[in-house]
Amino acid sequence: MVAVVVILASTVGLFVFDIGPSPSPTAPQISVSHSVIDYNGDDIIAVTLESGTAVETEKLYVTGSKDIDIGGPPGDSEAANSDYASGREKFTESSDGTPQIDIGETWDSGETVYLVPSDNDADGVTIKIYWNTRPVEGVNPGEVEGDDSYKIAEFTV
């Protein structure tokens, strides 16, 4: 009888105090569009957030089937540059503390980021955008902490 009471009390305690494992945060739902810009013979991929929840930029990173660099628009001093392409690029990439992409703390509908492949040819490149439950650390290409990354967009140019 005592054992039954102890087991029952433990079970009720778990529900009341929510001691069990926490559910993982829900990844944001977004829709993106893309276009290719020819800039001095180089392909630059413009990716625009069309709809969905505003997403914290410090938790976003992008990968490509080719190494890519993320940056500002063509002609901008912080423009994407194929010389700095890597397998993963964080949205808040910065060498001097100022993010290369000037979209602020969140990526909102209507805002565009620019990507350039390592060989300046975007044909057939597959782009994947990921959201992480924790901020992406480091400068370039950024280090992803933990196993809680979710692919929130994918497309092939």
Backbone phi, psi, residue 61, to 5° = -145, 160
Please give the model's pTM, rounded to 2 decimal places.
Answer: 0.81
Q: Residue 122 has what pLDDT? A: 95
Q: What is the DSSP string of 96-120?
A: SSS-SS-S-SEE-TT-EEEEEETTS
* pLDDT (tens place) for every residue of the chain, 157 residues total: 665 555 655 665 555 555 555 566 688 899 999 999 999 999 999 999 999 989 999 899 999 999 999 988 998 888 888 998 999 888 887 766 666 777 888 999 999 999 999 999 999 999 999 998 888 887 766 677 766 889 999 999 9
Q: Residue 10 has what pLDDT? A: 61
Structure tokens, 19: 């001691």
Residues 118/86, Cβ–Cβ less than 8 Å: no
Distance of CA 133 to CAs 69, 125, 138, Å?
Answer: 22, 26, 16
Identify which of 51, 73, 53, 67 has the alpha carbon closest to the alpha carbon of residue 125.
Answer: 67
Identify which of 61, 72, 77 has the alpha carbon closest to the alpha carbon of residue 37.
Answer: 72
Beta strands in the chain (DSSP E): 30-39, 42-52, 55-56, 60-71, 86-90, 106-107, 112-117, 126-132, 149-156
- Residue bearing tokens 């370039």: 140
The span from the CA of 130 to the CA of 43, in Å, is 22
Helix (H) or strand (E) holding 1: none
Q: Is 16 exposed, middle or buried (0-12, 13-18, 19+ CB in 10 A)?
A: exposed
